Structure 1
Amino acid sequence: MTTLSADREIEHLMTLHPKGFDLSLERVSRLLEKLGNPQDLMPPVIHIAGTNGKGSCAAFCRAILEAQGLLVHTHTSPHLVNWHERYRLAADGGGRLVDDATLAEAIARVARANDGQQITVFEILTAVGFVLFAEHPADVVVMEVGLGGRFDATNVVARPAASVIMPVSLDHEAYLGDRVELIAVEKAGIIKPGCPVVIGSQPYESALDVLVDTATRLGCPTYVYGQDFLAFEEHGRMVYQDQGGLMDLPLPRLPGRHQIANAAAAIATVKAAGFEPREHAVDRAMVTAVWPGRMQKLPHGRLVELAPPGADIWLDGGHNPGAGVVIAEALAELEHRDPRPLFLIAGMINTKDQGGYFNAFNGLVKHVYTVPVDFSDASVGNDELAARAEAAGLSAEPVSSVASALMLLRDTWQDAEVPPRILIGGSLYLAGAVLAENGTPPT
């Protein structure tokens, strides 16, 4: 896919406006008013917030709705390789990433409407999503929050068909607070009076209390994981249960036990939003949902060719302690089914809790190779990151790149040994760089 036109528009915006986030709704609301308030002209919106799991929930929601034959727009962030990944426009047979000419024209039009006023690039790009989704026909929009919820630029949708809060844990403390209940307050900001709310599996009771109290105070029909709906594995299948009964489903295609709870939240969300899913559609969605860069198996590609022959290579952009826990659990399940020595190639940025992430892999990983994150100015030096891994009890050494780590493993691996399992992770920036270098970008 040609990306030059849209990239040029975005690069120009980057020279005019600050990078990063400045959480507020005033600037984006002003811009949207100039554009005719496209957020009010979109199809019904499923709005998804949470520290972890919101992308997976969005992927399952989209898969369920499309399996019903519905036309679905999807907004996710951040992207991994191309900006186009943030906007998937509805199409017969399944949504497609926006084409370059359409995206470039929408960005230029929104930038002209802004007319040089103070704003962040993320706010402009969120407004672009509203314009695209209002101008292209669809039955429903699945929209992932960028950061937080209360002051995120997506939070101008007045009456969502359903608001979803996925697991809340510590992340982005500089913006959202250093206690889970404070972060839960920010996530709960997407809950609108009287609109249905789905609360996914919550690891912290204090966060759950905040979310339930907010939904109750605003008079929202509320569906809580473990109380109003749940899911579990039984005999190699996934059983979903709510007050409407049971669904006997395939296990989710996305790896990891945590995806059962994520899929359950998506089923409950589609129901809460009024799109009553037929069981055959949910069945199909469990085996077709795709979410790149999150426990994604890399069977081939330019980087994969550098690894020891037969290596089992996985990529995950999870970057906080909560993500580390669920990734480690998924790897432990793989180890149970197919024992192999596990190696971690990690790169992280300095706004993340590196030690908390590494703690999750204690006793599971044989050795860690730390690498710089080339696509981020906030990359933690590979020497410093190796020290953080060792402080968490792991054996670690710094190397110059993912390619170097894979070649080092290949050169030291004995032919008689069981091929290793390799996780590349710690940053979405790193995940995107790996997919680009491997020649396997999201489509």
Structure 2
Amino acid sequence: MVSSSTPLTEPDVALLRKEFDARPVNRLFQNAITKSPITDVALDHAVVTGIDRSMSHRLDKWPVTSQEKSGRCWMFAGLNLLRAGVMDKLGVKDFELSQNYPFFWDKLERCNYFLESMAQLADRPADDRTVAWLLQDVVGDGGQWNMFAAIVQKYGVVPKTVMPETQSSSNSAAMNKNLRSLLRQAARDVRAASGDAQVAEIRAQVMAAAYRILAMHLGTPPTEFDWQWTDDDGEFHRDGTLTPAQFRDRYVTIDVDDYVCLVDDPRPTSPRGRTFTVDHLGNVVGGAPVRYLNVPPETLKSLAAEAITSGEPVWFGCDVGQMMERDLGIWDARLYDFAGVYGTSFELDKAERLALHETLMTHAMLLTGVDLDGNTPRKWRVENSWGSDKADKGFYTMNDSWFGEYVFEIAAPRDRLPAELQAALDTEPIVLPAWDPMGSLALGQR
């Protein structure tokens, strides 16, 4: 351990300036970057021109959706996975499931989950690392696959026409701010409560207030609705009065309970073939916990390609902002030559980036196509939830090099896994701390 301090001196600064001025290319890049974004200057033209959008296998025949100014990407990606089968069953090419409906229930359930955690941790000081972590991001918008599955399993789904968007579902900041204030105040009261009866009284009052806030911002979720539609051949259909659970059971062709979460965590501390969970991560008290199986990236790719070639899109989570050109809608691991511009190397591998807080999952989307050369993927087609004004009407292209570096998880049917991985799913999970980067929640705001 180095014990002496090393202040930055005037001679040090003079040397740094001399070294900068000694390379004429530094001044050229300075001229460029002071007038243009670094991403414009560092964009590798050869990489851009080497990417085309054609795919050997492509599923999407529908328009993209938009999460607007909210962090619901994981929910949009999940609903987009479900709607592909719903559209086939309805005989239509344009249909959306309500994103506002599960948003309401996720928020309400998450309020209850937070209160449960505060009660369990009431004997710890407020600056305990777990308590402080939970207080830092109270009822945010982000989520993971297991959290989406828990809401669909408990509450079903409804068409978007039954519970459409509101100002706050599309722009959740103000609503979230007031919910956070309510719940942090509740944390104070729960931590000071004298027994279970008092905690229960506080919980009842807070949940009633949370419901009021959510209903005012998002509307009241339906308990039943009349369902009828006209298919693309002009034929009218009427199915009568349905509950959200009945609509799910009749029209959703995917059973979310059959899907498991697979991740690529290459850190030496995270053994392959083992299951993991994250302390105090979830949204539904009593629901299935967040649980995933750590596998190599080649397994993620082969299972994703198999699903797409079988006609099923794939939910996945990634670090979206890395090596992305938003307007063109492309990702490539070598898209920007930052090393060439700055004259310095960036050498962290995926495991090191995770360990040193340089990367984590930030966004969830849907894989709707793959370009295969034999069995080897070359690139992937991605349905984003950022609207249709970028990329190929909202569909992005991901080179396979990017998949290996920045994709962290996919949801896949359990029965598609090899026998040894299916058996591994039943093992006792390793519990990661609440702040571990593999517990990050996908937000992916536009």
Return the index of the structure with the highest Cα Rg.
2
- TM-score normalised according to structure 1 size: 0.24
Higher relative contact order (CA 8 A, sep 6+): 2
- TM-score normalised according to structure 2 size: 0.24
